[in-house]
Amino acid sequence: MAPTAIHPGEILAEELEELGVSPTELSRQIRVPANRISQIINGKRAITGDTALRLAHR
């Protein structure tokens, strides 16, 4: 049986919860619109290269 793919937004949501950081606070920290983080977490949007770099440098 093939492994089930996990959307990166699920991992991001788990990390935020563990860190006690809200999606809105993350959006402020990495200077992206709050709806972008919300869409990623909800599986409606992929993580772009730009967003990935911003997350990596957080």
CATH number for the domain spanning 36: value is 1.10.260.40
Does residue 49 fall inside a structural domain?
A: yes
Specify the pTM: 0.89
Cβ atoms of residues 34 and 24 within 8 Å? yes
Does residue 21 fall inside a structural domain?
A: yes
- Domain count of the chain? 1
Does residue 3 fall inside a structural domain?
A: no
Residue 49: which domain range? Answer: 8-56
Does residue 52 fall inside a structural domain?
A: yes
Tokens of 49: 């290269």
Does residue 2 fall inside a structural domain?
A: no
The pLDDT of residue 55 is 96
Backbone angles phi, psi at 4, to 5 degrees: -80, 135
Query: Is the per-residue pLDDT at 46 higher than 80?
Result: yes
Query: Is the per-residue pLDDT at 3 higher than 90?
Result: no
Query: Is the per-residue pLDDT at 41 higher than 90?
Result: yes
Query: Is the per-residue pLDDT at 1 higher than 80?
Result: no
Nearest by Cα to 40 from 56, 58, 21, 27: 27
Query: Is the per-residue pLDDT at 25 higher than 90?
Result: yes
